Amino acid sequence: MAAARPSLGRVLPGSSILFLCDMQEKFRHNVAYFPQIISVAARMLKVARLLEVPVMLTEQYPQGLGPTVPELGTEGLRPLAKTCFSMVPALQQELDSRPQLRSVLLCGIEAQACILNTTLDLLDRGLQVHVVVDACSSRSQVDRLVALARMRQSGAFLSTSEGLILQLVGDAAHPQFKEIQKLIKEPAPDSGLLGLFQGQNSLLH
């Protein structure tokens, strides 16, 4: 009997959703590479809007941690407040209402907390999770690195923003490609990933 074919992790606009996790004011001066992470997440949001990919936004205890930072560009999105270290309980109804959903693209903070637990909860539901590595960070780079490795061990896909964007658009003949090309013309800003991974390859095997 042939072995089951492993999931290839393809993403398509019609079966994907973008999750934006807890990119709030109080994290601005504590999370490593915060401006770069926000810049990449904002790029993902712009692409999602162009391709009509739904977007969900959460805020962790906003009374204490403040609102979502304005430069993310989430005008028109209603943030869902939460205290759980996972987005899934707050978004349960939304997930249940989308039977066609297959892939979740995940951006935000912190990698070892809400990103990791959201990933595990989504995998538990049978969904594919694509962690946008250049749009996720932590206060500690050790926590960030080990969380990425932990998510990969559990079955999540680690992807860059540009890799996912090009998968979503699929073809240079796509009617929105010219607009998307403008967004990715400049490489994503450096968020320390190269230095993070150098010498740590064993964690990512």
Q: Distance between terminal CA atoms of the chain?
A: 28
Task: Let me know if 82 is a catalytic residue.
Answer: yes
Given the residues 22, 121, 134, 136, select the one marked as catalytic: 22
Out of 21, 107, 114, 136, the active site residue is: 114
Query: Which entry of 21, 26, 46, 82 is annotated as an active-site residue?
Result: 82
Q: Supply 155's token pair.
A: 């079955």
Is residue 185 flagged as an active site residue?
Answer: no
Gap between the Cα atoms of 204 and 145, Å rounded: 9
- Mind telling me the catalytic residues? 22, 82, 114
